[in-house]
Amino acid sequence: MKESIQMSENRIVFATGNAGKMKEIRLILADLGMEILSMKEAGADPVIVENGKTFGENAEIKARAVWAETGGIVLADDSGLVVDCLGGEPGIYSARYMGEDTSYEIKNQTIISRVNEAPGDDRSARFVCNIAAVLPDGRVLHTEETMEGNHRREGRRKRRLWIRSNPVFTGVRSDQCRDYRGTEKQDQPSRKSA
């Protein structure tokens, strides 16, 4: 653990460098009255190799890597789209599907084409999100939520695989969505709000 980092009991570090994700996490955790820091803001810069076989394993790998540098409470997530007719792809590889440098427009179109070419009519899919929390004493807690839905036969908008205005996925049940922003309507919920 780095000696220069002083983590207090009222701070949570989230193992990400993604500014958009941090904005969303801060909204979700706003009622805790705690300071929510990205790993960069906490001074952590670990080498993270996501080589787990499940969303939970990958979330824990990220959380433990950051915790080793910061101590305190560290949260990390791993999430992705699981399409049944594609044997569960892209699954834990959603962010790295077809390579990290491939645009989301190309990734989405490829998934749509593969789904349309798949035999049968089953287009069931789900978003899975696992959050791992490493506590100050090193214990790890997990929570995992799933949002069931269907894969679209046609895409819309040029967006990432898993954000609010999702181009390739339609959730089945609106009661699975929680509006953490306090707005009257949240038409396309984020996977984090599931």
194 residues of the chain, pLDDT tens digit each: 444 355 667 999 999 999 999 999 999 999 999 999 999 999 999 999 999 999 999 999 999 999 999 999 999 999 999 999 999 999 999 989 999 899 888 988 899 899 999 998 888 999 999 999 999 999 999 999 999 988 876 655 544 444 344 667 777 765 554 444 444 334 444 544 44
| pLDDT for position 36 | 97
Q: Which of 31, 45, 77, 78 is catalytic?
A: 78
Position 148 scores a pLDDT of: 92
Per the annotation, the verdict on 137 as an active-site residue is no
- The pLDDT score that the predictor gives to residue 155 is 59
Name the nearest CA neighbour of 165 among 154, 156, 174, 153. Answer: 156
Q: Locate the domains of the chain by residue range.
A: 11-173
| Phi, psi for 101 (deg, rounded to 5) | -90, -5
The correct CATH number of 11-173 out of 3.90.950.10, 3.30.70.60, 3.40.80.10, 4.10.320.10 is 3.90.950.10
For residue 4, what pLDDT is reported?
37
Helix (H, G, I), strand (E, B) or coil at 104: helix
Question: What integer pLDDT is reported at residue 170 of this predicted model?
Answer: 77
Q: Cα dihedral sign for 64, 67, 71, 74?
A: negative
pLDDT of residue 191: 47
